[in-house]
Structure 1
Amino acid sequence: MSQELGAWMPHREHPDSELSAARDPVTARARDLARNNGFAAGGIQRETDAVIGAQFRPSARPDWRVLGISREEASEIGEQMDAAFRTWADDPLHGADVTRTQGWGGLVGMAYRTGMIDGDALSVIHWREGGPGPFRTCLRIVDPDLLSNPQNAPDTPLMRQGVELDAWGAPVAYHFRRQHELAMFGWGQNQVWDRWERELPWYRPQVAHFFERHRDGQTRGISRLAPVMDAMKMQDKHARVELQAAVLSAILGLFISSPLSPEAVQELISDGQFTELDDARQSLMKERGLTFGGVRLPVLAPGDSIESVNVTRPAGQYAMFETAVLRRIATGLGMSYEQLAMDWSQVNYSSARAALVEIWRGFMSRRQEFASRFCQPIRLAVMEDAIDLGLVRLPSGAPTLYEAPGAWMRAKWIGPGRGFVDPVKEAQASAIRVALGLSTMEDEAAELSGADYSDNLGQIAREIEQMPAGVMHPAQEKFATIMGVTGPDMRPAADE
């Protein structure tokens, strides 16, 4: 009942009711910001690069205990799965894409970017015979606008915004328009819907749908830009006005004022004397073009004077104001101000390291969630295809793929590395964690540089074989060298 909160009475509604009415305007505004606002476009791209990157790939780790196989068998099958997925994902003919325009990295990056802007990442998993390469599994990243109720019917308990639910509230099918509602081509197809079951009777996935679910009963997502949309738009408008003021100040620097009043000018015009007076003024200025030291002196008609325009700027402390607004936007997007503004002028090692650790924790959480809910169903369909092609061979007596999908599909998804603020210190810290058993070489390689440790080992083995006789490969040195310990007796080097 306080003065500050007494008039603030928001309504409580079902999550789908809250979002459905706002979805179209929020999505349209988010797309406009992503196209035309530099900070929005940059923030979306930087998060996509950090979470997904150019090569988002799994490292298979089948759970050998649950499957009842040996650790060695699980490791061998995991290598087969990774090789099969790479063959499908890195196909130079882009057979993984229905449109054959991009590979797996482009597909998953577009899906994540769409999820940030629109709130939903959608993919239909097709089975196409006769495509390029041996695989039959291919994807289409679907525009979320196509997911809607058939014939634009209102939501019902079992049909919400294009998602068909069962009695438990689980999605069982998705309804997609064949063409966008506002498409200028394919006349009539925008009023035709196709029903895609979530999975086939043996549980092969057909649709992958990812969104951030904040409440029970929520069926669709909302743009990640929604909480900071007003600040982004006002910051953009403020920046434009500030720039316009600067341009106006530069253009209208000086002007000449005359002592003639509007009444005197009107009287001269009515008597026909204004043209003669103006000609006399122009002639006077041309005749008296005096210079002094190479600088021309302004010579005006009697009574005229030169004055300057004093343009009032919209914000005297524009840079500080913009920084404050961008900090608010960065907080809403879950990234640091320095990442959003690309301003590293006030950063030292301690602050950069603290910001990197905090932001990276959020990025890793989003990566794991996106991989689990969007990428893993796609990988399951690809692995079914690979087993059918004989590229992955499961041992006899072990559960089939769909009898134990959680155990067979267990994997760690590897994206871009965290990077280094101080490479020497962080490499030493990495070596110490491994030496103390707090981490593994595989985890350190994935976190710091985004590398596949198995690939690294294979390449290092080849490099060691190619080294000349008597020359040691750097990887053969002991951890003590990295950690600042020298000498054959492993004693610390003396301080200098």
Structure 2
Amino acid sequence: MSKHSYPRVREGSVKFKSQEAAAAARGMGLFGSAPYVAGDSHVETMQSFNPSNSAADSEVLNGRDKVSARTRDLSRNNGWAAGAITKECDSIIGGNFRPFLKPDWRLLGLSSEWAKDFKEEVEGRWGNYADDPRKFGDTTRSQSMSQMFGTAYRSYVVEGEAIALVNWRRMRPTKTTLRIVDPDLLCNPMDAADQKHQRGGIDLSRDGVAQAYHFRQGHPGSAWADVGGMTWKRIGREGQNGRPQVIHFYDKLRDGQTRGISRMAPIVETLRMEQQYSKVELQAAVINAVLAAFIRSPMGPDMIDEMFGEGDGSAVLDMNVDRQKFYGDNGGIKIGGARLSMLYPNDEIGMVPTARPSAQFADFEGAILRQIASGIGMSYEQLASDWSKTNYSSARAAMIEIWRGWTAKRTAFAQGFCQPFFMAWLEEMIMDGHIKIPNGAPEFYSHWPAYARAKWIGPGKGFVDPVKEAQAAALRVSLGLSTLEEEAAELTGSDWSDNIEQIKSEMNDMPEGTLHPMAEKFAKLLGNTSDNQTRSED
């Protein structure tokens, strides 16, 4: 072996000159010893990262109350959190969240004409019930149905779940009512520890099916004495014929999970730290504004007393009195309307440096807000309301990406929370004879989902460029990729059937000789005018 050759020792994919070098590298944690770095305990950056594996409910239920308390506090006191929650609720639920009935007439063996008539009657009765100013649909008579759905969705965002009770109030025009329930009230009786078949206030079957819910009859944090805080009521998930009694909606992320966790949980720490950082920068700016300038004296009190006094502090006092008198006597001197600045002998003006807020504050805050926006499922531009650096293409791409996620959330919430209540309401309408089904039609309870099938409509996606969006919608319809009904619901949140009926009414009311924009002759006239204009320009 030559003096320049060394024994080679392989460590993973790296060769070392000696065993000592390889051991030193292992000691420094530079190279792993497992196929996946994520599962390696020797890599230095992973040595302190040792989370434990726990059951789904062990992860959620143990810290759920504290997470909920913190997210509620942020929703009250953090502007970014409050704005993000409000924007998502407004975009998904809005002010008129309603079902667009689509009964499965093929499965029911009925005609499409019956389906159209049934749809119009059900939607008409639902609209009258849901938007009744007397608010009979709310058990507490404080909100309309759309407002209640908005409250439930807000609870889902902030606390991770939406809970409601389907009640029956005999003295109301429509007896089916909805009561939104605070998730804090759902807990084990007497605050008992979780068990295999009772966790988080929910009784579970052997298959993990939620069978009943235990609700505390008063909040333990009430400011008044409430004996209900130590009493519980057990309510079954469903009543007779499968009628919903408790509606519980949450994102089930793992098998064995029975309660939801706030969707804001991953960004609570970031929101909190960003809030503190912004507060410190604001305080620094305020201090800079208040203490913009000061007067600097050449000698301190000790030096003045030592040079001119007898050690009793009288010299300092006399000098301060003399300085105060000087500034008082000369503070009002003006020349040509401008105040003349005069300083006491040997005094000079000093300026407070204005380096705060720091020059990097805006960029740093923008990076933090992008992280927060990603965590909550929206774009930075939506969260910060900052469109200064956005063009049409990027805005359109962001809207499509965000809208895809919001559409999934809307569909999940509508099917998991709104649809069960709508089915309970429709049951009352049909069983009490307010809405009739044809003789010989399939039995209602055995085909309940087919009669009640609906697509829920909320606010439309809106437009970045109205002309381009309308042209694209027309092109999709002409190619058979979409329908006018879907485009109306998607872009404006409207019901195409209602639009057509209104257009018919407008056409009939138009003065004679006046063309409605939807009229075929008007479209041809517009096309001819455009062609003539093009020819004249050529």
Task: Identify whether the pair has TM-score above 0.5, normalized to the shorter chain.
Answer: yes
The letter for the 2-side match of 1:280 is D
**Equivalences for residues 115-194 of structure 1 within 5 A:** 115-131=156-172, 134-194=173-233
Q: Alignment length, in residue pairs? A: 492
Output aligned runs, 1:47-62, within 5 Å: 47-62=88-103
In 1, Cα distance between equivalents of 2:424 and 2:534: 55
Alpha-carbon contact 2:517-2:523 (below 8 Å) kept? no
Moved more, 301-310 or 243-252: 301-310
The one-letter code of the counterpart of 2:411 is Q
Partner of 2:409: 366
SS at match of 1:338: helix
Task: Tell me which residue corresponds to 2:513.
Answer: 470
CA shift at 1:386, angstroms? Answer: 1.0
**Bigger Cα Rg:** 2
Write the distance in 2 (CA, Å) between the matches of 1:433 and 1:142.
Answer: 43
Counterpart check, 1:316 vs 2:359: yes
Question: Out of 67, 77, 93, which is 2:134 matched to?
Answer: 93
User: Which secondary structure does the structure 2 equivalent of 1:487 belong to?
Assistant: helix
Is contact 2:327-2:344 (8 Å) kept?
Answer: yes
Distance 1:487 1:274, change over 3 A: closer
Amino acid at match of 2:321: D
The match for 1:5 is 46
The reply to whether residue 272 of structure 1 matches residue 311 of structure 2 is no
Structure number with the bigger relative contact order (C-alpha 8 A, sep ≥ 6) is 1
CA contact (8 A) 2:515 2:521 kept: no
CA-atom RMSD, angstroms?
A: 2.2
Per the alignment, residue 114 of structure 1 pairs with: 155
Which whole-Å CA distance do the structure 1 matches of 2:200 and 2:52 have between them? 21
Residue in 2 that maps onto 1:393: 436
The answer to whether the Cα contact below 8 Å between 1:179 and 1:186 also exists between their aligned partners in 2 is no
Q: Distance in 1 between matches of 2:304 and 2:218?
A: 65
> For 1:234, which of 273, 281, 301 is the aligned residue?
273
In structure 1, distance between residues paired with 2:136 and 2:464: 39
Distance 1:97 1:186, change over 3 A: farther
> What's the TM-score, normalizing by structure 1?
0.94
* Distance (whole Å) between structure 2 residues aligned to residue 488 and residue 310 of structure 1: 66
Q: Deviations over 1:258-313 (max 9, x none)?
A: 23334346665725344333222222334445544443333333332221222542
Please report how far the alpha carbon of residue 377 of structure 1 lies from its aligned counterpart in structure 2 after TM superposition: 0.5
Using the TM superposition, give the Cα deviation of residue 233 of structure 1 relative to its aligned residue in structure 2, in angstroms.
1.1
The residue number in structure 1 matching 2:58 is: 17
Judged with a 3 Å threshold, the aligned counterparts in structure 2 of structure 1 residues 297 and 210 are, in CA distance, closer, same or farther, namely same
Query: AA paired with 1:452?
Result: D
Q: Which residue of 1 aligns with 2:325?
A: 283
Identify the residue that residue 253 of structure 1 maps to in structure 2: 292
Aligned match of 2:464 = 421
Query: How has the CA–CA distance of structure 1 residues 250 and 492 changed in structure 2, closer, same or farther, with 3 Å as cutoff?
Result: closer
Task: State which of 299, 303, 322 in structure 1 corresponds to 2:346.
Answer: 303
- Report which stretch shifted further, 440-449 or 454-463: 454-463
User: Residues 492 and 41 from structure 1, CA distance in 2 versus in 1: closer, same or farther, beyond 3 angstroms?
Assistant: same
Identity of aligned residues (%): 47
Structure 1's 489 and 105: CA in aligned 2 closer, same or farther, altered over 3 A?
closer
2:23 aligned partner: none
What residue identity is the alignment partner of 2:230? Q
Alpha-carbon contact 1:431-1:479 (below 8 Å) kept: no
Please say if 1:326 is aligned against 2:366: no
Q: Which residue of 2 aligns with 1:198?
A: 237
Seen in structure 2, the aligned counterparts of structure 1 residues 121 and 282 have a Cα distance that, compared at 3 Å, is same
Rounded to whole Å, the distance in 2 between the matches of 1:85 and 1:182 is 37
* C-alpha distance in structure 1 between counterparts of 2:106 and 2:533, whole Å: 43
Aligned-partner residue type, residue 291 of structure 2: L
Alignment map for 1:20-39 (pairs within 5 Å): 20-39=61-80
What is the rounded CA distance, in whole Å, between the counterparts of 2:269 and 2:530 in structure 1? 64
Residues 305 and 315, structure 2, Cα contact 8 Å, conserved in 1: no
* SS of structure 2 residue aligned to 1:413: strand
Q: Which amino acid aligns with 2:51?
A: P
Normalising by structure 2, we get a TM-score of 0.87
User: For structure 1, which segment, 303-312 or 339-348, has the greater mean C-alpha deviation from structure 2 after superposition?
Assistant: 303-312
Aligned position for 2:302:
263
Task: Please report how far the alpha carbon of residue 129 of structure 1 lies from its aligned counterpart in structure 2 after TM superposition.
Answer: 0.7
Residues 56, 413 of structure 1: 8 Å contact kept: yes
2:475 to 427, 432, 439: 432
Q: How far did 1:434 drift?
A: 1.2
* 2-structure distance, mates of 1:68, 1:351: 48
Structure 1 position 410 matched with structure 2 position 449: no
The 1:356–1:480 alpha-carbon spacing in structure 2 relative to 1, beyond 3 Å, is: farther
C-alpha separation between the residues in 2 aligned to 1:487 and 1:75?
A: 37
1:68 aligns with 2:109: yes
Residue identity in the other structure for 1:444: E
Deviation per residue, 1:79-98 (Å, 9 max, x gap)? 22212211221111000111
Identify unmatched segments of 5+ residues in structure 2. Answer: 1-41
Aligned 8 A contact 1:485 1:492 in 2: no
